Amino acid sequence: MGDTQDWTAVPGVAERARSVLAAAWSCVVTADGVREEHVGAHTMTAEGAVRLAVPDDSSLFAVALCAPRQEPSAVLEFADVAPVPVCNRIRARLRLAGRLVPAGRAVLFRPARVVLRQSSGAELVDLDEFAAARPDPLTDVEPRLLTHLADAHPDAVEWLTRLVRPESLHAATRVVPLAVDRHGLTLRIERTRAHGDVRLPFHAPADDIAQLTERMHVLLGQANAATCPSALQWQRADGDG
């Protein structure tokens, strides 16, 4: 579902993976029979490793000391959760397999395999690209932006449906802003027993709030010029197409 994309329309898989890691509020670590969830404990190093600031009584310290030197011995899992309540709020999952090593009062995780799973399927992320990539510049402000758009400007969300093909809105019961990044805005189209996503690409990447505001004004201008009056009838549709 959605329109033909151009080079500005979607982030690369490595950038998306780094954005998921940056936005995730917690991570689950599984290693040598140990499974722990840590909140606000992970950061990325410049070399592409993950630093885990875990409590002193964490079993991961012992695992790191005893881990095989060259073999992946641990798995880190991150979930990307939509900030706006929608059906199926998990937008992506990031899974890293690698090795834990001691790092002072923390442990360091060196990835050997990175897999990003989205609705489109699972993709293997190149390790060098993963290390070199940076999170989307809007990652930190995305929750506030989407919540504000959904709560304070539902009329603008409805107006943007003029840019969606009418058949994509068939039997829709609700349209909600699902995600925004420097490349575009994604809408979640909910139906009674299903849902789908439509991406509205920006005409150029947005690297800060000012640029994002301009890109959104352009989209709304395009919606104003669109001749798709039937697209605005989705609120009165019922059933599941």
98-134 burial by CB neighbour count: b if 16+ within 10 A, else e? Answer: bbbeeeeebbbbbbeebebebeeeeeebebebbbebe
pTM for the model: 0.87
Question: Looking at residue 170, what is its pLDDT?
Answer: 87
Q: What is the pLDDT of residues 63-109, one digit of tens each?
A: 998 877 767 789 999 999 999 999 899 999 999 999 999 999 999 99
**Which has more pLDDT, 6 or 194?**
194
Q: If you average pLDDT over residues 149-171, what whole number do you get?
A: 93
Among 3.40.50.300, 3.20.180.10, 3.40.640.10, 3.40.50.1100, name the CATH number for the domain at 141-227. Answer: 3.20.180.10
* E-state strands within the chain: 26-31, 34-39, 42-44, 50-52, 74-81, 90-103, 106-118, 121-125, 174-181, 184-190, 195-201
Q: What is the pLDDT of residues 129-145, one digit of tens each?
A: 999 999 999 999 999 99
Q: What does the domain layout of the chain look like in residue ranges?
A: 13-132, 141-227
**Which has more pLDDT, 146 or 168?**
146
Q: What is the largest CA-CA distance in the chain?
A: 65
Question: Given this chain, do its domains 13-132 and 141-227 carry the same CATH topology?
Answer: no
Superfamily of domain 13-132: Electron Transport, Fmn-binding Protein; Chain A (2.30.110.10)
Q: Determine the 3-state secondary structure of 24 from DSSP.
A: coil
Report the mean per-residue pLDDT for the chain: 89
Confidence of residue 241 (pLDDT cuts 50, 70, 90): very low
Q: What residues does 199 pair with on adjacent strands?
A: 186
Class of residue 224 by CB neighbours under 10 A (exposed 0-12, middle 13-18, buried 19+): exposed
Please report how many Cα atoms fall inside a 13 Å half-sphere around the Cα of residue 109, on the Cβ side: 29
**Which has more pLDDT, 192 or 8?**
192
Question: Looking at residue 137, what is its pLDDT?
Answer: 97
Q: What is the pLDDT of residues 10-60, one digit of tens each?
A: 899 999 999 999 999 999 999 988 999 999 999 999 999 999 999 999 999
- Residue 166 pLDDT > 50: yes
Q: What is the pLDDT of residues 187-237, one digit of tens each?
A: 999 998 889 999 999 999 999 999 999 999 999 999 999 865 444 454 444
Question: Looking at residue 114, what is its pLDDT?
Answer: 98
Question: Looking at residue 60, what is its pLDDT?
Answer: 95
